[in-house]
Amino acid sequence: MLKMENVSKIYRTNLIETHALRKVDLHIGAGEFVSVTGPSGSGKTTFLNLAGLLETFEEGDFYLDGQNVKGLNDNQLSELRNEKIGFIFQSFNLLPELPLFDNVDVPLRYRGFNAKERKERIENALEIVGLSSRMQHLPTQLSGGQQQRVAIARAIAGQPKFLLADEPTGNLDSLMAQQVMELLEKINQQGTTIIMVTHDDQLARRAHRNIQIFDGQVSDLALDQTDVLIKAG
């Protein structure tokens, strides 16, 4: 489903060469809920950007849903991103001047759906996150948790195979974080693969599998091993 073989990412400036990811070998199957943890600056976000086709990589091969994305041009990457991947960000990244309906509409527009289909998908997505009654509200009229639910609605409206979540609860209090997490689990149960970067070990433990990144190197741990590490640590 998502397969990386010897993938490396290097950031270069005139003076410095930074290995953000080193020879990552990873396979994430369909329907998995994977958490990604690691200290700040370890390469979590870089990993998520590569997985989300937001950045290119120098070495290795990356198969997304069976397709090798290496060498795809910008248009092809955009199409693939739009069709197969939904993004959830820590800071929600909603467009503040647009009502919820139009925010959820954004990726569907680029997908080329007609108005009727877009409307159905938007209403359905907002229904799933429990905000169908607030379609015409602006994001600023919502709480943080509600805004993140809108972002989730936007991510799932196109029914992607992957959801990539970058610290989705990082800006929320524990109650809101709990609600969002439950929502993600519900979406995962319906078959969507979720990769979630988090600093929160409690949340990480709720995933099927935890990937830890240290200094650009990936350790693929089973959940019980993670438990051991946490307890030891």
Partner 1 sequence: MFAYNAKLAFKSLNDRPSLTVLMVAAIAVGLGLFMTMLTLGHQSGKIPIPHISKQIHLIQLDNREVTADDAENFTDMVDLTYQDANNLLNMDIAGAEQALTWNTYGILNVEEQDIQPQRSSVVATNHAFFNMFEVPFLYGKGWDSDADQLGQAVIVLTKDSNDYLFGGINSVGQQVRLNTQVLTVIGVLDDWFLARKFYDRSYSQARPDQALIPSNFAFNNDLPRNARFDCWSTTTNPRKFTTNYLTELKTSECAWITFWAKLPNNTKDDYQAQLGQYIESQKNLGRFPRENQYFLTNINDQLSIIGSMGGRQQMLGMISYMFFAVCLINAVSILLAKFMRRTKEVSLRRALGAKKRTILQQHLIEVIFIGVIGGLFGIAFTYLGLQAMLRVSLYASDYTQTAADLMPYHRMDWEMVMMAFSVSVGCTLLVGLYPIWRICNVSPASQLKAQ
Residues that bind partner 1 in the complex, under the rule CB under 8 A: 45, 49, 52, 54-55, 74-75, 78-79, 81-83, 87, 89-91, 93, 95, 97, 106-107, 109-112, 154, 166-167, 170-171
Residue 229 Cβ vs partner 1, minimum distance, rounded to whole Å: 26
Residue 208 Cβ vs partner 1, minimum distance, rounded to whole Å: 25
CA dist., res. 150 & res. 134, Å (int): 10
CA dist., res. 132 & res. 88, Å (int): 19
Pairing of strands 209-214, 33-37: parallel
Residue 145 Cβ vs partner 1, minimum distance, rounded to whole Å: 16
CA dist., res. 52 & res. 95, Å (int): 20
Residue 91 Cβ vs partner 1, minimum distance, rounded to whole Å: 4
Q: Which residue's CB is nearer to partner 1, number 157 or number 218?
A: 157
Q: Which residue's CB is nearer to partner 1, number 78 or number 225?
A: 78
Q: Which residue's CB is nearer to partner 1, number 75 or number 133?
A: 75
Distance of CA 95 to the CA centre of its chain: 18
Q: Which residue's CB is nearer to partner 1, number 18 or number 225?
A: 18
Residue 185 Cβ vs partner 1, minimum distance, rounded to whole Å: 23
Which tokens go with 76?
């092809």
- CB crowding 95-108: b at 16 or more within 10 Å, else e: eeeebbbebbbbbb
- The kind and range of the H/E element at 181 are helix 174-189
CA dist., res. 169 & res. 226, Å (int): 20
Q: Which residue's CB is nearer to partner 1, number 108 or number 204?
A: 108
